[in-house]
Amino acid sequence: MAETVSTSSENPSRRDFIYIATGAAGVVGAGLYAWPLIDQMNPAADTKALSTTEVDLSSVEEGQQIIVKWQGKPVFVRHRTQKEIDEARAVDITTLRDPATDEQRLVVNGEGKYEPQYLIMIGICTHLGCVPIGNNAGDYDGWFCPCHGSHYDTAGRIRKGPAPKNLVLPPYQYLNDTLVKIG
Amino acid sequence: MSGYPGYDPKSGFEKWLDARLPIIRLGYDTFIFPTPRNLNYWWTFGGILAVILMSQIITGIILAMHYVPHVDLAFDSVQHIKRDVNFGWMLQPMHAVGASMMFLAVYIHMFRGIYYGSYKSPREVLWIVGVVIYLLMMATGFMGYVLPWGQMSFWGATVITNLFSAFPLIGESITQWLWGGFAVDDPTLNRFFSLHFVLPFAILGLVILHVWALHVPGNNNPTGVSVKNVDKDTLPFHPYYTVKDGFAIVVFLMVFVAFVFFMPDALNHPDNYIRANPLVTPPHIVPEWYYLPFYAMLRAVPNKLGGVITMFGAIAVLFVLPWLDTSKVRSMRYRPLAKLFFIIFVLACVGLGWAGAKSPTDLVFVTGTDAATGAPTGLSFLWFARILTLYYYAFFVVILPVLGLVEKPKDRPESIEKSVLKSAPKEA
Ligand code: HEM
Ligand code: FES
């Protein structure tokens, strides 16, 4: 009994060290255990692999929009009319909530040229994820989201309503003049 | 304590068991529990909730025997339950309507708590456990509604999971983690099914804590006056309140079955009978009625993150309510001003629900017409929701703290017994 007391009072720091080291190892262990349990919910390898879609732009008539599915999300492919392009370019971008020129909303083709008639965007409202209605809907002739009333213009830029950002552009590239690979 | 002698094992077996696993004693102490003699029918909703929770668990386990959590099969499997499974036409609505009934009962239960000051010392933990149960119920109900995989299921899931994308930097990662992909899809449906199955059991566990936390201080009562003399102020829970609760449960179940048998779809949305389509959003998406007030708050704020914070804050504020209310008087029966503000609060909540069901640009009432366009002008539901949201918060963070300091309460009865026996004999 006396011996125990003297041991602990002589070496308090050694005891504390073991105590803290055990605790720390326990915390690290718990973290290592928890991470797989959490990470399993992230997109699985096969989900991530389903990540490219090809679109033939020649099938989209002027003034028309098609919706293709990419990674489970709708992607708008719009063949814009000259009027829409002019409208998009007439805007003073300093007045925009998420400033971007019309060209920044496009991607150059294989020859380094823009194809301003084709606008390709992820068709998901940047507010809470609904699919906006297209074909010159809303106050700015572009898209209108029915869920909480966001208006996007003919370049898919947010103009009015609760959404904070322009419609997002997916990564894509022109394989030739009319064939596009999304993803 | 003469009315409550405690458990006295009679038979040899009871004595033997009591020394090893005092489970009969536990049941006895739970049911032969001193309960204020003046509880009114607002106190029956706890028992009602317990009954519906059991019903949800039983019908849920049964539905899970026939339901298929897969994007291609879920919608049809629910139709299969409703049309082909024996008694499925009854069991499926029992579960779907049961969810609504549970929220109806929980809202009444919570308003009761606020009116009678049941969250005040010494019942703060009891109240907080209740708020956690409510949060879990919201999560469970939301995930359950996704399972039939109709249009409202899908788009409700999309909008609600996107709420988390409002958080700066980590928002996007959180939503992808919730989805298990890049949009609401099969992985999302599967995990929602798993969680929807298990959360009610977590709720059950919390209900046990809730009842435990109730049995330490005992029930509050309509006067808010604490029990002073157990013999005079209380009655044993059984048989007095088992009978009163039982009667209320039967009446409540009559409302419940009226829905199940005669209008099983009245509380559902017609669009949920359209198969989920990830490429088309229905023109007017609305959540289940029990989330509408929060949905109205979300839309009342023009900023995305601001809306999300306002909505979650409306529930978070309930956690600190016991410390916001500065009045020492529990029951609003004796607080004329608080009572008035409480009534307005209930109306504000109902009004928010109404606003949540409407499009923000619709008008509550028309005051005139726009000179230029000829369109009617007036109070829009957007502004209506903004005013009511402001009142909702003001009630908790301004009115209740200030009233406690300035209001002069009415005289309270000396004891629970005196309040019941108004013309009571002096001391019999
Ligand atoms: C707190 C208790 C519960 C609530 C509030 C709740 C709520 C809901 C809701 C709102 C639905 C959608 C019904 C519809 O629109 O058709 C649903 C469906 C479902 N629930 Fe629950 N539930 C609860 C407990 C449970 C339990 C314990 C289980 C299983 C163990 C379960 C299994 C299911 C299944 C399989 C479905 C899909 C079939 C259907 O849509 O009818 N639920 N639940
Ligand atoms: S999701 Fe489009 S405005 Fe809210």
* Interval between CA B10 and ligand 2 midpoint (Å): 67
Asked whether A98 and A160 are in contact (CB, 8 A), the reply is no
* B106 min Cα distance to partner chain A (Å): 28
**Neighbouring residues of B168: CB distance < 8 A, sequence distance ≥ 6:** B305
Q: What is the per-residue pLDDT across B223-280, written as a single tens digit (0 to 9) for each?
A: 999 999 999 999 999 999 999 999 999 999 999 999 999 999 999 999 999 999 999 9
Residues B159, A43: C-beta atoms closer than 8 Å: no
Q: Are B390 and B344 in contact (CB under 8 A)?
A: no
Centre a 10 Å sphere on the Cβ of residue B200 and count the other Cβ atoms it contains. 19
The tokens describing A14, both together, are 């050694």
Query: Which residue do the tokens 């002008």 mark?
Result: B377
A1 — pLDDT class (breaks 50, 70, 90): very low
| Structure-token pair, residue A115 | 């194809």
**Gap between the terminal Cα atoms of chain B:** 17
Least confident of A122-136, B337-351, B396-410: A122-136
Percent of chain B predicted with pLDDT > 70: 98
Distance (Å, rounded) from C-alpha A10 to C-alpha B324? 51
Q: Which among A44, A147, A164 has CB closest to B159?
A: A147
Q: Is the pLDDT of residue A147 over 90?
A: no
Q: How large is the greatest C-alpha to C-alpha distance in chain A, in angstroms? A: 96
Cβ-proximal residues to A123 (8 Å cutoff; 6+ apart), any chain = A67, A73, A74, A75, A76, A131, A132, A134, A167, B279
Average pLDDT over residues A122-147: 91
β-strand partners of A182: A53, A172
| Interface contacts A/B by beta carbons within 8 Å | 85
Residue recorded with tokens 């102490």:
B29
pLDDT digits (tens, 9 = 90+) for B25-81: 999 999 999 999 999 999 999 999 999 999 999 999 999 999 999 999 999 999 999
**In a 3-state reduction of DSSP, which class is residue B133?**
helix
Question: Which residues does chain B have within 8 Å of residue A47's beta carbon, measured at their own beta carbons?
Answer: 180-182, 185, 187
User: In this predicted complex, what is the ipTM?
Assistant: 0.79
Q: How far is the CA of B60 from the centre of ligand 1 (A)?
A: 5
Q: Dig out the tokens for B349 from the structure.
A: 């909540």
pTM of the model: 0.88
Query: Is the pLDDT score of B2 beyond 70?
Result: no
CA-to-CA distance for B90 and B83, rounded, in angstroms?
Answer: 10
Please state, in angstroms and rounded to a whole number, the distance separating the CA atoms of residues B64 and A70.
Answer: 31
Contacts of B281 in chain A (CB under 8 A): 130-132, 145-147
> Hey, is B313 helix, strand or coil?
helix
Look at A114 and B72; give whichever has higher pLDDT.
B72
Q: Average pLDDT of B207-219?
A: 96
Residues pairing with B378 in the sheet: B366
Binned at pLDDT 50, 70 and 90, residue A11 comes out as: low
**Ligand 2 pocket test target in A97, A145, A151 with most atoms within 8 Å of CB:** A145
Q: Which residues contact B40 (CB under 8 A, 6 or more apart)?
A: B222
The tokens describing B351, both together, are 């009004």
Q: Give the pLDDT confidence of B199-212 residue by residue, as tens digits.
A: 999 999 999 999 99
* B311 Cα to the center of ligand 2, angstroms: 16
- Nearest 5°: phi and psi at A109? -85, -175
Q: Does the structure show a pLDDT above 70 at B15?
A: yes
**Residue A22, min C-alpha distance to chain B (Å):** 31
Confidence of residue A178 (pLDDT cuts 50, 70, 90): confident
Residue B406, amino acid? V
Q: Does A29 touch chain B (CB under 8 A)?
A: no
Looking at residue B3, its pLDDT comes to 66
Measure the CA–CA gap between A89 and A105, rounded to whole angstroms. Answer: 11
Q: Which residues line ligand 2 (CB under 6 A)?
A: A 125, 127-130, 145, 147-150, 161-163
Averaged pLDDT of chain B: 94
pLDDT digits (tens, 9 = 90+) for B283-313: 888 899 999 999 999 989 888 889 999 999 9
Q: Which structure tokens are listed for B22?
A: 């005092």
In angstroms, the CA B300 to CA B313 distance is: 14
| B106-143 tens-digit pLDDT | 999 999 999 999 999 999 999 999 999 999 999 999 99
Does residue A129 register a pLDDT over 50? yes
Chain A 136-155, residues with CB within 8 Å of chain B CB atoms:
145-149
- Residue B426: per-residue pLDDT: 53
Q: B349: which residues sit within 8 A by CB, 6+ positions away? A: B293, B392
Closest protein CA for atom 1 of ligand 2:
A128
Which residues in chain B (356-375) have CB-CB distances under 8 A to chain A?
359-361
Beta strands at A133-137 and A118-122: parallel, antiparallel or unpaired: unpaired
Burial zone of B189 (CB within 10 Å; 0-12 exposed, 13-18 middle, 19+ buried): buried
Q: Does B176 touch chain A (CB under 8 A)?
A: yes
CA–CA dist A119, A153 (Å, integer) = 12
Q: For residues A157-179, give the mean pLDDT.
A: 90
Determine the Cα–Cα distance for residues B357 and B293; give it in Å rounded to an integer: 9
